[in-house]
Every structure is written in C-alpha cells, then in structure tokens.
C-alpha cells in the first residue's frame, strides 16, 4: 500500500489527471497528497453546463500554530490549491477538531465562498457536514466546518472493493434524499465526488462541502439539479463496479474502456444487483441509453429519491451463525433424562441399568489398607517439608558470600528486597532521535521531548495496514529513542501520545550500551506491549539503571482520512524521589 504524508480530507479529491494548479498543490507542507501515483487535489472532470472560473495560484502563507480569532489553531495543511488552502485545526474554546478553508479577502471567489458557506450553514440538515463559522478578518476569509474523526471517505472504502447491494442501496438512498432536501432550499453541491461522501462508524453517510467546495473552485452550472443527479449516479455506479463510469481514471478508480461508451454495470462486473444497476444508468447522462426496461431518466435528486423508494427494499445480509455441537450424553446423567425409555408394547426398546457402586471398605483388610495409605501420606509430607527447608537454606547461602557479605545485583537491576521507589522529578533528556530502519521525520524527533505539549513528533499517514502500511522499510515499527546523557536511576515514565489507540512498548538498553539502534539492543522490558490511550504512565517497582530508552510503536490508530497515523507529543522520564 502507498503511504501519504498528509491526510486526504476536506475538499481534496482524487482527480483523474494532473491538475492545472499542480504547482500550487506541490506547495503543501509535507509534499503533494498522492494516491496511486496521481495528485489527489486534481479537479473533477468538467461536465456539460459546468463552468470553472480562473483563480490565482497563491494560497495564504500561514503555518502550523497560527490562530484565527484567537480560537482556531491551525495544525496541518491538507490542501493548497487554486489560491486557497484547507487545514485541520483545533477549536481551543470547545476543545475539538475542526476543518478550516482559508483564502485571501481579495481572492476573486472570496465573496462567493462566504455566501455559499453562510447559505449552507442555514440548512442545518444532519446528513451534511455542518459549516460552523464563516468570517472575513484581517484580509483573510475563512470557513470553519465540522471534523468527523470516526468517518471514512468513500474513496478509501471503494479502494478495498465494491459495496455489497445493501450498502450501495443505503448510499444512494441517503445521498439522493439529502440532495433533494438541499435543492428544495436552493442549494446545489456540484462537487459530489467519492471524497465528498463520508461514512460514519454508525453506517450513516454524510456529505461535506455543500455549495462551498464548488465556490472554492469556481464551479457553476446552468443545470445544477441535473449535475448533482448525474454525480449521484456516478457514485452508485462506482459503488457497484469499483470502476469510474467515464473513460478517464479518477479518484483511485479505473475508468471504462475507451471507445465503448457507458455500459451497464452488470456488463462490467458479474453479480451486480440488477435494480441498482438500472437505477445508476437512469441517473447518468447517457444519450437516452438508460436501463434495460427503458424507464425514463432521473434528472433531479427528487426524482432519483422517488425511484429508489419505489424499488423493493434490499435487506442486509443475514449474519452467519455457527451451529452448536450436537448434545452428547454422558454417564453422569441419572434418572430417565437422556436415556431411552421402555415402553410397553414397543419392540426393541432398551433399558439402561445403573451400575451399583462397590461397597465401602468395612472389612478388617479394608481398615488395614486405609491406615497404611494414611501413614504413607504422612511420611511423604514430612520428606517434602525437609527438602523444601534444605532448598531454602541453600538459597540463602548462595545469596551471601563466604564472609557473610551480600552479593551485588547485576547491572540495571535493583537490590533484592528493596522498597518500591517513588518517582521524583523528570530527568533531563539530552537527545531524542527517531527509531526504525527508515526513520520517520527525524527532524521532528526533538519535538517529543522539548517540554512543549503543543508540539509533537507525528508519523506519516499509512494506508491499508495499521502496522505502517505493511511496508518492509517499517517492519520494525517506529518510535523515539531518548538519551539521558548518562546512566540514571529511572523510577517511572509519563508519555503523552499524539493519538489514542497506538500499540506501544517501552524498552531500555543495558547501562553499558553505547549508541543502541536496533530493537535487540534494548534488552530490558520496561512496559509490555499494550494499546495505549492518550497517556502512557507507569511506575517501576524498583529503580532501573539506564541511559537509553525507546518508546517503540508497532501499530498505528485509524485517522479520519481512512489511513493510519500516530506519534508522540511529550516524553518524561522520571527519576527517584530524594
């Protein structure tokens, strides 16, 4: 799987070709957002009736940490294109993540973006990602919208394969009904792409960028209802076939063969639900070649929603249950339950006899035997006690020398019998470096131990697998190695993780180690491999002598873009209390 250095969120879409503003896109903080070798911020293929207005290529030059209205702290630039930029930010007043679009106040589209954002905010439909704020301030125009950390883009879902019929039915039902409601209020989307559709953890589909995404890119249409209906048809077609219904490859999907035109979904992939395939053809503009039953095309989201409602409801697949094992009769059953019964007049019926237990040992021989067994048990217990005392005595002798002095503990271990240590103040960390075969962002490693909780060492975004994309160069995981400068008594750890859900362990190198780099160099286990929350805190029962420790991450949590990302915000190594 490919890896990306920024999350494909907000208005960033997987365009089919290199966008005209590719040079502007390459100005993002971590490089161009790519997938399958193409720029992810490319324009959607233009349809008849749609127009795109020209725009300058320079987005506002802001940086991570900049605050808007003393409230919204910019954290990561996820799109820089066509003179605007989009960010993941933190609302410090409500302590939640938000998305922000930024563009200069003199941008030719600034007024249209503000108007679109304010109109979208008035809709208040829970099926759309809500606009929270739209402001012009200090020569900047910015639009603040919801950030859904538990949602996944349809782009990422389709990368794994086509949707099963019930899920595709839910997709077209929810999206068509939502867009019908928006058009009743005079709002169009004009940018309904797979990356504009989010699926939450509860199975609900939500649409982001209503009116705003088109305004940011200067897209208009003479037939907005037809344009949105065709876009919904394209989404349904892609969900059924995992192919884009045009000749161009787009949004991580392969287009149709060139020269054959639009063909029915069941001719692209076997097993496609016939009713849904016909519905996709009715929604797509295909020169009159609609469905096999030649039903009229759907030209508005309202008509499409009614056509979906008229279909027989597609039920979810039945859950697979494993049949319980057949009941086995046992010899412990008593009475008539579980045994064949004798019935008068019925030949072949069987009667099971209950075995009679043997009589107790009441004879003289039996009493002698019982006393003999008791004597043997007493002798065995006495012998075992004597051997146990002898073993303990030898162990005590081994722990002391011939002159009675106690032997010294091994390096890195606390003396036996020492009292549990109370952690003291954080120890000084002389250096922090990125760990792994191919270190991730080594220039940011010191941010994990700079005493500033607002800065962090953050990994790249990986796709497909939580274990760093299952890539060979990261099969040892990653993390941060801290150097205390000299051998110190370590009594505890307090590590703030960048995100909850990371699998992490902490290991220490032996006191004699010099510049350890591989995992085998860190032989002492301080914290066992566990799934950590936002904070990893531990107190050692006895102090540990060490200079080098590694906070080793083996698996990353899912982020809101369909990928996996983690990191470390702050590391504190605690010494012993004075």
Cα 256-4-217 angle, rounded to 5 deg: 65
Nearest-angstrom CA–CA distance, 13 and 79? 10
Per-residue pLDDT, 373? 81
Instruction: Give bridge partners of residue 504 from the DSSP assignment.
Output: 530, 553
330: confidence class by pLDDT, cuts 50, 70, 90: low
Contact 491, 421 (CB under 8 A): yes
Per-residue DSSP letter, 327: P
Most confident of the following: 19-23, 256-260, 307-311, 321-325: 307-311
Q: Is the pLDDT of residue 401 over 80?
A: no
Sequence-distant (6+) residues with CB within 8 A of 235 are: 154, 171, 172, 175, 192, 194, 197
Q: Is the pLDDT of residue 369 over 80?
A: no
In angstroms, the Cα distances linking 330 to 334, 348, 354, 397, 460 are 9, 22, 13, 55, 59
Per-residue pLDDT of 109-136, as tens digits, reads 999 999 999 999 999 899 999 999 999 9
Contact 195, 154 (CB under 8 A): yes
**411, two tokens:** 């390096």
Per-residue pLDDT, 41? 39
Per-residue DSSP letter, 515: S
Nearest-angstrom CA–CA distance, 522 and 516? 7
Contact 238, 194 (CB under 8 A): yes
Write the DSSP string, 260-319: S----HHHHSTT--HHHHHHHHHHS--TT---TT-PPPP-SHHHHHHHHHHSPPPPPPPP
**124, two tokens:** 């208040």
**Residue that wins the pLDDT comparison between 429 and 48:** 429
Q: Is the pLDDT of residue 70 over 70?
A: yes
- Percentage helix, strand, coil, to 5, in the chain? 25, 25, 50
Of 24-38, 220-234, 479-493, the one with minimum mean pLDDT is 24-38
Nearest-angstrom CA–CA distance, 386 and 189? 87
Name the 3-class secondary structure at 458.
Answer: strand
Nearest-angstrom CA–CA distance, 483 and 490? 12
**Residue that wins the pLDDT comparison between 352 and 183:** 183
Per-residue pLDDT of 510-533, as tens digits, reads 999 888 888 888 999 999 999 999
Per-residue pLDDT, 355? 57
CA 209, 213, 214, 215 torsion: positive or negative? Answer: positive
Per-residue pLDDT, 43? 40
Q: How many CA atoms lie within 13 Å of 565's alpha carbon, on the beta-carbon side?
A: 20
Most confident of the following: 29-33, 82-86, 423-427, 473-477: 82-86
Per-residue pLDDT, 572? 94
Instruction: Give bridge partners of residue 488 from the DSSP assignment.
Output: 546
CATH topology of domain 151-310: Transferase(Phosphotransferase); domain 1 (1.10.510)
- In the chain, the N- to C-terminal Cα span, in Å, equals 51
Nearest-angstrom CA–CA distance, 317 and 302? 28
In angstroms, the Cα distances linking 159 to 14, 40, 503 are 12, 14, 25
Instruction: Give bridge partners of residue 102 from the DSSP assignment.
Output: 85, 142
Nearest-angstrom CA–CA distance, 555 and 331? 50
| Size of the chain in residues | 578
Nearest-angstrom CA–CA distance, 501 and 558? 8
Domain spans of the chain? Answer: 66-146, 151-310, 423-576
Q: Is the pLDDT of residue 328 over 80?
A: no
Instruction: Give bridge partners of residue 553 from the DSSP assignment.
Output: 478, 504
Per-residue pLDDT, 379? 81
Per-residue pLDDT, 346? 47
Per-residue DSSP letter, 252: T
Per-residue pLDDT of 432-474, as tens digits, reads 999 998 889 999 999 999 988 889 999 988 878 889 888 888 8
Specify the pairing of strand 84-91 against strand 72-81.
Answer: antiparallel
- The distance of Cα 484 from the centroid of its chain, to the nearest Å, equals 33
**335, two tokens:** 């009475």
CATH topology of domain 423-576: Jelly Rolls (2.60.120)
Sequence-distant (6+) residues with CB within 8 A of 240 are: 162, 163, 168, 265, 269, 272, 273, 276, 277, 280
Number of H helices, E strands in the chain: 10, 25
**308, two tokens:** 């979906």
CATH topology of domain 66-146: Phosphorylase Kinase; domain 1 (3.30.200)
Per-residue DSSP letter, 202: T
Per-residue pLDDT, 362? 57
Per-residue pLDDT, 396? 54
Global pTM reads 0.51
Nearest-angstrom CA–CA distance, 61 and 47? 32
């Amino acid at each position: 799987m490919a890896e990306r250095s920024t999350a494909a969120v907000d208005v960033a879409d997987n365009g089919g070709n290199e966008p005209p503003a590719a040079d502007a896109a390459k100005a993002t903080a971590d490089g161009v957002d790519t997938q399958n070798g193409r720029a992810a911020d490319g324009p959607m293929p233009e349809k008849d009736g749609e127009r795109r207005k020209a725009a300058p290529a320079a987005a506002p030059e802001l940086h991570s940490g900049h605050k808007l209205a003393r409230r919204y702290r910019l954290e990561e630039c996820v799109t820089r294109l066509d003179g605007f930029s989009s960010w993941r930010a933190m609302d410090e007043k409500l302590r939640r993540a938000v998305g922000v679009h930024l563009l200069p106040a003199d941008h030719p589209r600034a007024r249209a973006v503000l108007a679109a954002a304010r109109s979208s905010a008035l809709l208040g439909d829970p099926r759309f990602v809500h606009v929270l704020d739209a402001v012009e301030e200090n020569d900047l125009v910015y639009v603040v919208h919801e950030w859904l950390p538990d949602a996944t883009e349809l782009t990422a879902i389709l990368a794994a394969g086509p949707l099963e019929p019930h899920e595709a039915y839910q997709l077209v039902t929810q999206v068509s009904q939502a867009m019908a409601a928006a058009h009743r209020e005079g709002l169009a989307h004009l940018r309904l792409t797979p990356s504009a559709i989010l699926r939450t953890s509860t199975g609900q589909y939500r649409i982001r960028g209503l009116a705003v995404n088109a305004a940011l890119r200067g897209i208009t249409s003479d037939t907005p209802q037809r344009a949105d209906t065709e876009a919904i048809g394209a989404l349904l077609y892609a969900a059924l076939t995992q192919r884009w219904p045009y000749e161009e490859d787009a949004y991580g999907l392969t287009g149709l063969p060139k020269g054959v035109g639009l063909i029915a979904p069941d001719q692209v992939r076997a097993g496609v639900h016939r009713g849904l395939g016909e519905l996709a053809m009715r929604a797509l503009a295909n020169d009159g070649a609609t469905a096999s039953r030649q039903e009229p095309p759907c030209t508005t989201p309202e008509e499409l929603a009614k056509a979906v409602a008229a279909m027989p409801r597609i039920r979810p697949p039945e859950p697979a249950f494993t049949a319980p094992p057949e009941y086995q009769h046992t010899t412990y059953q008593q009475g008539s339950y579980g045994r064949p019964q004798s019935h008068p007049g019925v030949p072949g019926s069987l009667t099971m006899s209950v075995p009679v237990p043997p009589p107790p040992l009441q004879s003289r021989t039996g009493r002698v035997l019982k006393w003999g067994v008791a004597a043997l048990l007493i002798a065995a217990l006495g012998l075992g006690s004597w051997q146990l005392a002898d073993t303990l005595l030898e162990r005590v002798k081994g722990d002391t020398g011939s002159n009675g002095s106690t032997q010294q503990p091994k390096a890195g271990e606390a003396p036996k019998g020492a009292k549990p240590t109370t952690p003291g103040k954080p120890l000084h960390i002389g250096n922090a470096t990125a760990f792994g075969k191919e270190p991730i962002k080594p220039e940011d490693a010191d941010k994990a131990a700079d005493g500033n909780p607002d800065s962090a060492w953050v990994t790249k975004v990986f796709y497909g697998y939580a274990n760093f994309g299952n890539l060979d160069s990261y099969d040892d995981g990653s993390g941060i190695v801290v150097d205390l400068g000299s051998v110190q008594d370590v009594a505890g750890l307090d590590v703030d993780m960048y995100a909850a859900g990371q699998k992490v362990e902490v290991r220490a190198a032996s006191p004699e180690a010099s510049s350890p780099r591989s995992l085998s160099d860190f032989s002492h286990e301080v914290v066992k491999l566990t799934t950590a929350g936002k904070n990893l805190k531990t107190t050692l029962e006895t102090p540990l002598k060490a200079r080098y420790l590694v906070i080793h991450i083996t698996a990353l949590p899912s982020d809101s873009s369909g990928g996996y990302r983690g990191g470390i915000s702050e590391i504190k190594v605690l010494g012993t209390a004075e």
